[in-house]
Structure formats: structure tokens, C-alpha cells
Amino acid sequence: MKFGICCSPQQFATRDGETVAGLERLVEVLAAAGADYVEFPVAVVQAEGDVQGFEALRGALETHGLRAQAFNSFIPGHQRIVGEVDLNAVLAFCQVALSRCKALGAEVIVLGSGSARRVPEGFDAQRARSQFIEFCRELAPIADDVQVDIAIEPLNKREDNFCNSVQDGAALMDEITHPRIRLLADLYHMSEENEPMQNVADAGARLAHTHVADRARVAPGTAAEEEDFVGFFRALRAADYRARCSFEGSFDNVETQIAPMIQFLQRRWRESA
């Protein structure tokens, strides 16, 4: 299993706002800590802006030999995929975003994007489901062209009113029926919804990516009460999943906590065997 970190270059932004210095330092810290890859928000590739920031990011990653194998927060809230939808506009955004993500090493793009897929109050739920499925079916050939997978991310009910369990996500994936549209399992959201680990095992080959965090969304190994990482990892083994696992949460100190956190996850993975 490869272990990585969900983070943003802004976590190392310098006082005078020189983002390049910030992202170079972040990549340096991640590489030194033993991260196998980094997971950035799609916003860092500036798909709706110019290429200057994107090229700076690519240069920093290449310098330290670290790849951004995964990206999250795919669709910005103003690019609706449920409700009042401009499908051509959002697909044009996706074309640029996926191409730039791929150039940085992307293998999977996480489709959580609760603000873009949240069903508006009073909107027909079945129509919303049809819109989401249509969007994914139109997105799939774009993803296939650039050779990346799209992983539907179930979110807890406080963050989303559309897809709230691994089981829900698997049903959507099975209805979309395209090999590039796959599934993510997130331990944090599963815990919030009290979802059984068996749903992860049952997801099997549908899984393309995973996230973990304690309920407080602090670095694993630092929470007052440890989440069931071993149980989650055992379910992933039962699903024959061995690809990637990203921590998604907050740090008190990025420079000192990343290496111990990765080592903690590696230990729990070994214990799950």
C-alpha cells in the first residue's frame, strides 16, 4: 500500500505571499518524510486561470521526484453538476483540469465536491441522480483520453445530501457502467455514518482510492481515541485493494507530524495482515 497526504501548497505559504517558495518547501518536507505521493486539491492546477502557477507546481514536484498521484475537491461549487447545470461549461473545465492533473502524475481524481452535487431544496431527487449519472457518463471519455480514474467519494450527511455511503457510491458506479468511473472509501465519512466495514470488502474491484482520518480529523496516532484503522485496512485487504491511502485532515505542525503519521499508518497496515 502506498501512503500519501492530502494537502495544499498554502500550508507553506511565505509571509510575503510567494507561493512558489511555499510549495517547494512543502514538497521537500513530504519527500523527506517518506510520503509515497501527494494528493492536492484540483484548484492548484488553476484550470480556470493561466498556466504560471501550474508550471511552478510542476517544477517543484519534478525537483524532488514526488508525484501528485491523486487530486481531490474536483468540481468547484459554481460548476454545478446537480440542479441548474451547464453541462458543456463544466465538461470544458474538466477537460483542462484533468489534462493538467495528469501532467503532474495523476492516476485518480476524487469526485466528492459536495457543494457542486448537493441537491437543491425542493429539487427532484431522482432527476438529480439522473443528472449526476449523465455527468459521469459524459466525463468518462475525457478521463479515458488522459488515462485517469474518477473515484466517486461518499460524504457524510452533514456535508452532502446525495451520496452518503460506500454502498450508495457502488450503486451509482454500477449504474454509470464505465471502467473509468470508480469508487472511493473514506474511513472518516464511514465512521460519521456508522457504515459497516463489510461495505468496503463488498466494494471489491470497484475501489480506486481511499482516505483515512480520525473522527477529529487530526493526524492518525494523535487523537484521544484511535479510529479503527486496522479494521478498515482488513476490509481493504478483503476487497483485494492495495493501491493508495491518503490521510485527509489537519496538522498542528506539518514538518514534524508527517513522518510519524506515515509510519503509524504503515504499522496499522502491517497489523491488518
Q: Report the percent of the chain where pLDDT is more than 90.
A: 74
Rounded Cα distance, 40 and 70, in Å: 7
> Is 225's pLDDT higher than 50?
yes
Rounded Cα distance, 41 and 110, in Å: 9
Structure confidence by residue, pLDDT tens digits, 145-168: 999 999 999 999 999 999 999 999
Q: What are phi and psi of 141, to 5 degrees?
A: -65, -30
Q: Which three cell numbers stand for residue 210?
A: 481511499
Q: Report the percent of the chain where pLDDT is more than 70.
A: 95
Q: Where are the alpha helices (DSSP H) in the chain?
A: 19-33, 52-64, 87-103, 114-117, 125-146, 166-176, 187-192, 198-203, 229-238, 254-271
Q: Which three cell numbers stand for residue 141?
A: 471519455
Cα angle 231, 238, 165 (rounded to 5 degrees) comes to 65
Structure confidence by residue, pLDDT tens digits, 87-101: 999 999 999 999 999
> Is 8's pLDDT higher than 80?
yes
> Is 19's pLDDT higher than 50?
no
pLDDT class for 15, splitting at 50, 70, 90?
very low
Rounded Cα distance, 111 and 136, in Å: 10
Which residue did the predictor score with more confidence, 244 or 19?
A: 244
Structure confidence by residue, pLDDT tens digits, 66-78: 899 999 999 999 9
Residue type, 159: E
Instruction: Yes or no: say if 226 and 190 are a contact pair by the CB < 8 Å rule.
Output: no
Structure confidence by residue, pLDDT tens digits, 46-65: 898 878 778 888 888 888 88
Rounded Cα distance, 266 and 3, in Å: 8
The DSSP output letter for 10 is G
Q: What are phi and psi of 207, to 5 degrees?
A: -70, 130
> Is 14's pLDDT higher than 70?
no
pLDDT of res. 209: 98
**Topology (CATH) of 2-271:** TIM Barrel (3.20.20)
Instruction: Determine how many CB atoms are found less than 10 A away from the CB of residue 158.
Output: 11
Which residue did the predictor score with more confidence, 69 or 22?
A: 69
Contacts from 126-129 at CB under 8 Å and sequence distance 24+? Answer: 128/82, 128/83, 128/162, 129/162, 129/172
pLDDT of res. 13: 53
Which residue did the predictor score with more confidence, 264 or 53?
A: 264
pLDDT of res. 154: 98
pLDDT class for 20, splitting at 50, 70, 90?
very low
Q: What are phi and psi of 272, to 5 degrees?
A: -80, -10
